[in-house]
Chains A and B, each alone.
Chain A
Amino acid sequence: MTTTTTRGAGRKRGSAAGRAGADSYRFVNDRVNGTSFIRHSMNKAFPTHWSFMIGEIALYSFIIVLLSGVFLTMFFEPSNREVIYNGSYAPLHGLKMSQAYASTLSISFDIRGGLLMRQLHHWAALIFIGAVAIHSLRVFFTGAFRKPREINWLIGVGLLTLAIFEGFAGYSLPDDLLSGTGLRIGYSMLESIPVVGSWLAMFIFGGEFPGQGFLHRLYAVHILLLPGIILALVTAHLMIIWHQKHTDFPGPGKSEETVVGTRFYPGYVLKGGGYTFLVFGVCALLGGLAQINPIWYYGPFTPAQVSAGSQPDFYMGFLEGSLRIMPGWEWHVWGQTIPFNLLIPGLILPGLMFTSMALYPFIERKWITKDNSYHELLDRPRDNPTRTGIGWMGLSFYLVLLVAGGNDIIAKTLHISLYATTWIFRFAIILVPPIAFYLAKRVCLGLLSREEDEHHHGIETGTIKRLPHGEVIEVHAPVPPARAAVLEATPDGQPAHIAQVGEPDEREPAPVGRQTVLTGARERLSSFFYEREDPEREDDR
């Protein structure tokens, strides 16, 4: 009855466009009946916090990468076939080059808006990978990967890895001098794999470097295989978060049982749509105004040349750095060669980095905290000092590698010896991560203990009061309710074997008897993870 009224009212008021919309809605709905889904979706509450927007930026930039990429496929020819250039860029006239490079030049110089689209594609790809990486940091440091969101964390790590491969494939396609050198290193990396390396390299490249028709293969991977997988994973990622609902920071009115935020319709749709266009617009401005990958300066790829001071895109920088600071270790055993100077920095190290990233939620939950409860409210980074420390350890490890990838430029800029910078980074990669761990943990503990004071004693006002009996005190003002709600949400750190959290049936069964080395290590890890003592505060008391 109520619904009839509404429909009637809608018909009365609606404009022509509104009627068309209502009609098509009814058309679809009378056939698939999505009313409950649509209504549910329209009323979905989305928490708002600036850090939740980073993932959105990744999504929107991915859309524009897809769109601009489709445009580029209309003109690009992924062929190794050699041609003599006679297009509109005069400095390269008469030069032998692959058709891939020639068609990239043609996109840049002969097709109106082609250069804009090429640069836009490149910038949007950089923004995509950067946003995915920063989004994953946000998720890590706020503990958003905890139960029930481990699956999405795994998908996210997969997406980050694929995005890096996809980016590498993309900038290798134009077959310029810079990208050709990158492919040469990739070929050597394949070759270095024990037992099957030669076969892999020959199969993937179709022969000895530079290979037969390799660009065709790379092209198929770049425009079909990887984007297809990425698109599928993005879809799964979004469907899961849609179903699970977004996490939120603790605050007034927030609880583990509720979501507080803007409804999807109308506020979030309009705002999300707006942000989409903002990201598009920034990409377009960058594509027009900020030059990127000017392949015509690098020249076509020839195997006997290389450009000095060349730098890959930023997401490959950590690999470049790890290759540069690796000492020249190589084993010759039983008539075979194992080149650790390629294997470790190029394959083992990134493999370990991404694997440990992927497994972290499981290590934390299954092994350290044994916390099997659901977590809908986020930790602020300071709320879990040990995790934040671990995060900074990993992040600083990555950053040292990234900066080491530019050691020649650093050496040149600062006028220090190239070898000195390499040695500095060799030490830094070992020393910086533990220091970062310690500092981050200390900072978190300091912030927490200050908040504890604030929670129990209120805010210092600076007003000094003398009591009748002569005592001088500082007046503390009560904490405002919004702040108090945050302070109260701070978890009381308890080792897992003392405080079991979660519903009784979600708990893991208590370990029975048998104290082994493993359980001991586990308990120590757990205590370490929850350790909250601050030596200075002990002294105060």
Chain B
Amino acid sequence: MTDDHGTGPDAGSGSGSGGGEPAAPAGMPPKGEASTAWEDQGSLVERLRSPGHGRRGSPEAASGAASEAPSGAPTGAASRGPAQAGQPSLAGQETSAEERAGDLRRRMRGPAGRNARTELDRALISRRADEMRGLTEIEDAQRIVLHEPAQAQLTDQGERSAARKVAGWFLLSAAATVGFCLLYALTSTRRNLAMQNQLLGLTLGVALLAIGIGAIVWVNQILPHEQAVQMREPLHPTPEERQAVELDWAKGVEETGVTRRKVLLGSLGISMGVLPLAPLFLLRDLGPSPTGGAGRSVFTYTAWRKGMRFVEYDTRLPVKLGDIEVGSLLTIVPEGHQDAAADSAVMLIRLRPDSVNVASFDGYAAKFPKDGYRGSDFVNAGHVAYSKVCTHAGCPVSLYEQQLEQFLCPCHQSTFEAYRAGRVIFGPAARALPMLPFYVDSEGFFRAKGDFPEPVGPSFWERG
């Protein structure tokens, strides 16, 4: 802001100040003319139509700046009169800009610091402009339209206090880091882990946050607030560039001979087409075949075999008639195959005798005529053995609502009726829970009559 047109002694005569009416036509110069960029800021400022941008300081400040402006320096705001806008070169200003900056820095300490500081900005910027003239090949086409010193930066004292603030944050961070290290060194994990974790997190957090806050304060209070304007570069090629590339490409094609010798590309195509087979074959041993060589999918059977005893999942003790009270349930696995729980886990449940819907169990048995089971193979002395693997997504169905005699899968809330052959009454599951046929032997132990009559768990393509 300081370097725009409202401040300089001849700004008012050059381009209309205050209102932001441009003398020069609005619009950015084309790329590559960066060398003249600094002269036509009047027009640029016009683009920044916000009220804060077109005006700078009080009249006193402006006149103060004018009185202190080095004479004969056609740079900065003073140079931006329309008469000089088009001047191609300002050779000879390099050294004076440098000197002026040093001079201004010295004068900054005085009461006129505020204005001098804007002068410094102007001097520095004009030096930048001078430098850019030596580097016209670089397509930056960039100008700083608004370059306002931060409030704290306006006076030496302000800057010092801002710097103290920043330093305070940085030192706080250092202290927190030291605290973190001390805590780490002095504590043992055996004692009060929660407290230790909280303190470590707190100190590390403060160490990191304080650096961040310090940096932000630094930016806000010391760095000048700027609005740099940069030209965007075109993101598409010119027709000439495109043609040149196309030509190069065509020449390359010609040189490789692929147009004359078809066999080159043909054979390359074959080799590249076949090559993916190698990694494909390499993938084969990632896992066994789902049929396991046995001709039937591994998902269709479990570890249960005829005569296997029911053992409790946690205690691994065989389960006897009378172990389960009415309305409660045990998780069962086949004896000797405790690790096969992923598909063989069973919920053995004892229903209220009056609630059992016998017909539904008969119906279930009738679905598998080949096995020759009857309803009483699935509900025996009020006990039923349901597969614990949900027929939806395979989660363990583990919530049993005793009053309703329903199972609820906690994953997606499929609900099955325990007294009615595991029928689905709600949720995304599409099939009833499979049941394990079983009997009670002469000693009172539960034993399987065979595997589940159908695949347990979620559906798959080959399930049928």
Residues of A at under 8 Å CB distance from B?
A: 1-3, 5-6, 9, 36, 39-40, 43-45, 88, 109-113, 115-116, 119-120, 148, 181, 184-185, 187-189, 191-199, 201-212, 244-245, 251-253, 255-263, 266-267, 270-271, 273-282, 284-289, 302-310, 320, 323-330, 332, 335-339, 341-342, 345, 374, 376, 407-408, 418-419, 422, 480-482, 484-485
Shortest CB distance B318–A (Å): 17
| B394 cross-chain contacts in A, Cβ below 8 A | 184-185, 187-188, 191, 209
Most buried by B among A278, A320, A327: A278
Residues of B at under 8 Å CB distance from A?
A: 20, 28, 44, 47-51, 53, 94-95, 98, 130-131, 133-135, 137-140, 142, 144-145, 184, 187, 189-190, 193, 196-202, 204-216, 218-219, 223, 226-233, 235, 283, 286-290, 297-299, 313, 331, 333, 341-343, 345, 388, 392-396, 398-399, 410-414, 424, 426-431, 457-464
| B134 cross-chain contacts in A, Cβ below 8 A | 1-3
| B205 cross-chain contacts in A, Cβ below 8 A | 281-282, 284-285, 287-289
**CB-based A-B contact count at 8 angstroms:** 343
With contact pairs A184-B395, A208-B298, A328-B424 given, residues A271 and B290 touching in the complex (Cβ less than 8 Å) = no
CB-defined A-B contacts under 8 Å, sample of 5: A274-B211, A285-B205, A304-B341, A335-B464, A481-B20
| B428 cross-chain contacts in A, Cβ below 8 A | 323-328, 341-342, 345
Contact assessment for B200 and A116 in the assembled complex, using a CB-CB cutoff below 8 Å: yes
Contact assessment for A203 and B286 in the assembled complex, using a CB-CB cutoff below 8 Å: yes
With contact pairs A109-B189, A209-B394 given, residues A2 and B94 touching in the complex (Cβ less than 8 Å) = yes
Shortest CB distance A31–B (Å): 20
6 further A-B contacts with Cβ under 8 Å, apart from A260-B230, A289-B201, are A44-B230, A112-B184, A245-B232, A263-B142, A281-B211, A288-B204
Main secondary structure of the interface of B (DSSP, over half): mixed
Shortest CB distance A415–B (Å): 16
Q: Which residue of A lies closest to B429 (CB)?
A: A328
| A258 cross-chain contacts in B, Cβ below 8 A | 28, 229-232
Contact assessment for A204 and B286 in the assembled complex, using a CB-CB cutoff below 8 Å: yes
The one of A251, A255, A341 in contact with B429, judged by C-beta atoms closer than 8 angstroms, is A341
Contact assessment for B28 and A257 in the assembled complex, using a CB-CB cutoff below 8 Å: yes
Contact assessment for A199 and B460 in the assembled complex, using a CB-CB cutoff below 8 Å: no
| A310 cross-chain contacts in B, Cβ below 8 A | 410-411
A259 to B230, CA, bound (A): 5
A258 to B44, CA, bound (A): 11
The one of A210, A270, A327 in contact with B219, judged by C-beta atoms closer than 8 angstroms, is A270
Contact assessment for B201 and A287 in the assembled complex, using a CB-CB cutoff below 8 Å: yes
Shortest CB distance A302–B (Å): 7
| A274 cross-chain contacts in B, Cβ below 8 A | 211-216, 218-219
A232 to B75, CA, bound (A): 47
Contact assessment for B395 and A185 in the assembled complex, using a CB-CB cutoff below 8 Å: yes
Contact assessment for A308 and B131 in the assembled complex, using a CB-CB cutoff below 8 Å: no
The one of B133, B396, B427, B460 in contact with A306, judged by C-beta atoms closer than 8 angstroms, is B396
With contact pairs A270-B218, A310-B410 given, residues A323 and B212 touching in the complex (Cβ less than 8 Å) = no
A342 to B428, CA, bound (A): 8
A212 to B212, CA, bound (A): 46
Contact assessment for B226 and A263 in the assembled complex, using a CB-CB cutoff below 8 Å: yes
A191 to B460, CA, bound (A): 5
Contact assessment for B464 and A337 in the assembled complex, using a CB-CB cutoff below 8 Å: yes
Contact assessment for A281 and B212 in the assembled complex, using a CB-CB cutoff below 8 Å: yes
Contact assessment for A273 and B215 in the assembled complex, using a CB-CB cutoff below 8 Å: yes
A308 to B48, CA, bound (A): 60
Contact assessment for A304 and B331 in the assembled complex, using a CB-CB cutoff below 8 Å: yes
A484 to B49, CA, bound (A): 9
A153 to B120, CA, bound (A): 44
Contact assessment for B297 and A116 in the assembled complex, using a CB-CB cutoff below 8 Å: no
Contact assessment for A43 and B230 in the assembled complex, using a CB-CB cutoff below 8 Å: yes
Contact assessment for B131 and A6 in the assembled complex, using a CB-CB cutoff below 8 Å: yes
Contact assessment for A342 and B201 in the assembled complex, using a CB-CB cutoff below 8 Å: no
A148 to B233, CA, bound (A): 12
Shortest CB distance B409–A (Å): 8
Contact assessment for A116 and B197 in the assembled complex, using a CB-CB cutoff below 8 Å: yes
Shortest CB distance A426–B (Å): 11
Contact assessment for A203 and B283 in the assembled complex, using a CB-CB cutoff below 8 Å: yes
| A341 cross-chain contacts in B, Cβ below 8 A | 392, 428-430
The one of A116, A185, A195 in contact with B201, judged by C-beta atoms closer than 8 angstroms, is A116
| B461 cross-chain contacts in A, Cβ below 8 A | 193-198, 336-338
Contact assessment for A407 and B287 in the assembled complex, using a CB-CB cutoff below 8 Å: no
The one of A189, A261, A284, A304 in contact with B396, judged by C-beta atoms closer than 8 angstroms, is A304
Shortest CB distance A315–B (Å): 17
Contact assessment for B47 and A252 in the assembled complex, using a CB-CB cutoff below 8 Å: yes
A329 to B44, CA, bound (A): 65
Contact assessment for A191 and B215 in the assembled complex, using a CB-CB cutoff below 8 Å: no
Contact assessment for B209 and A422 in the assembled complex, using a CB-CB cutoff below 8 Å: no
A326 to B414, CA, bound (A): 10
A330 to B327, CA, bound (A): 31
| B427 cross-chain contacts in A, Cβ below 8 A | 324, 328, 422
With contact pairs A209-B394, A258-B231 given, residues A339 and B459 touching in the complex (Cβ less than 8 Å) = yes
Contact assessment for B398 and A306 in the assembled complex, using a CB-CB cutoff below 8 Å: yes
A480 to B229, CA, bound (A): 22
Which 5 A/B pairs are nearest by Cβ-Cβ distance? A288-B201, A274-B215, A281-B209, A277-B212, A285-B205
A339 to B139, CA, bound (A): 60
| B48 cross-chain contacts in A, Cβ below 8 A | 252-253
A111 to B197, CA, bound (A): 11
A345 to B393, CA, bound (A): 11
